[in-house]
Chains A and B, each alone.
Chain A
Amino acid sequence: DIQMTQSPSSLSASVGDRVTITCRASQGISSYLNWYQQKPGKAPKLLIYAASSLQSGVPSRFSGSGSGTDFTLTISSLQPEDFATYYCQQSYSTPCSFGQGTKLEIK
């Protein structure tokens, strides 16, 4: 099974900051990497699929990059509504494992 490891586990940042979250797969997954945002009490929301493709309706300040084993999610200029928990997920093979999450908090 493929293990997904995110870093950091938590992050404090300010509105307007540029933020990067990293996700590493235990083996190569090509570009089968997805990013989700989850706010408290809400279902997850798909942000990025196939490592770098922006889901419809998601603001362009979100971007994804990487292939193989190393991936990043970047938020170019944090907005108040971006404070949430972010998860990566691989869809290269089953089980389609998630990372442990990165909680983005207001500094």
Chain B
Amino acid sequence: EVQLVESGGGLVQPGRSLRLSCAASGFTFDNYAMHWVRQPPGKGLEWVSGISWNSNNIGYADSVKGRFTISRDNAKNSLYLQMNSLRDEDMALYYCAKDRYGDLDASDIWGQGTMVTVSS
């Protein structure tokens, strides 16, 4: 069964850091690009970042550029999102999503998300 399981969310103070992880199983992880997409409570989807299969193509939303870093470890079938200098507006449910291809395109498999709460 294809599965993505996010972890690492929680309550964090503004200005602090958090690292999200996504464990993939049931497919050949290093063949596919991966994405992080977030959704603030009651609001729409926002694409946060994406990484190609070989990490050669990486993109970020303007709202997180310079603060967030996406990475992957193909040997561990894992995707990461290092989030620094967190702000109130970063509070959201963060989804890990598998791409249909090796480079950045549509996301065909999604995890259930991990919640990040930013509050003092």
Chain A contact residues: helix, strand, loop or mixed = loop
Nearest-CB residue, chain A, relative to B105:
A91
The answer to whether A94 touches B46, judged by C-beta atoms less than 8 angstroms apart, is no
In the complex the two chains form, what is the Cα distance from A32 to B103 in whole Å? 13
Chain B: residues with Cβ within 8 Å of the partner, total of 22
Q: A95-B59, A95-B60 are in contact. Are A46 and B44 (CB under 8 A)?
A: no
Q: A38-B45, A44-B45, A98-B47 are in contact. Are A49 and B95 (CB under 8 A)?
A: no
Q: Which of B12-20, B71-79, B82-90, B106-114 contacts A (4 or more CB under 8 A)?
A: B106-114
The answer to whether A44 touches B110, judged by C-beta atoms less than 8 angstroms apart, is yes
Closest approach, in angstroms, between the C-beta of B35 and any C-beta of chain A?
7
Say yes or no: is B62 at the interface (Cβ < 8 Å to chain A): yes
In the complex the two chains form, what is the Cα distance from A49 to B107 in whole Å? 9
Which of B47, B59, B61, B95 is in CB contact (< 8 Å) with A43?
B95
The answer to whether A100 touches B60, judged by C-beta atoms less than 8 angstroms apart, is no
Closest approach, in angstroms, between the C-beta of A93 and any C-beta of chain B?
8
Chain A: residues with Cβ within 8 Å of the partner, total of 24
Say yes or no: is A30 at the interface (Cβ < 8 Å to chain B): no
Closest approach, in angstroms, between the C-beta of B26 and any C-beta of chain A?
15
The answer to whether B100 touches A49, judged by C-beta atoms less than 8 angstroms apart, is yes
Query: What residues of A have a CB within 8 angstroms of the CB of B60 in the complex?
Result: 94-95
Closest approach, in angstroms, between the C-beta of B89 and any C-beta of chain A?
16
Closest approach, in angstroms, between the C-beta of A56 and any C-beta of chain B?
8
Nearest-CB residue, chain A, relative to B63:
A95
Say yes or no: is A55 at the interface (Cβ < 8 Å to chain B): yes
Q: A44-B110, A46-B106 are in contact. Are A96 and B47 (CB under 8 A)?
A: yes
Nearest-CB residue, chain A, relative to B109:
A46
Closest approach, in angstroms, between the C-beta of B48 and any C-beta of chain A?
8
In the complex the two chains form, what is the Cα distance from A23 to B105 in whole Å? 17
Identify which of B37, B45, B113 gathers the most chain A CB atoms within 10 Å of its CB: B45
Chain A residues at the B interface, C-beta cutoff of 8 Å: 1, 32, 34, 36, 38, 43-46, 49-50, 55, 85, 87, 89, 91, 94-101
Chain B residues at the A interface, C-beta cutoff of 8 Å: 35, 37, 44-47, 50, 59-62, 95, 100, 104-108, 110-113
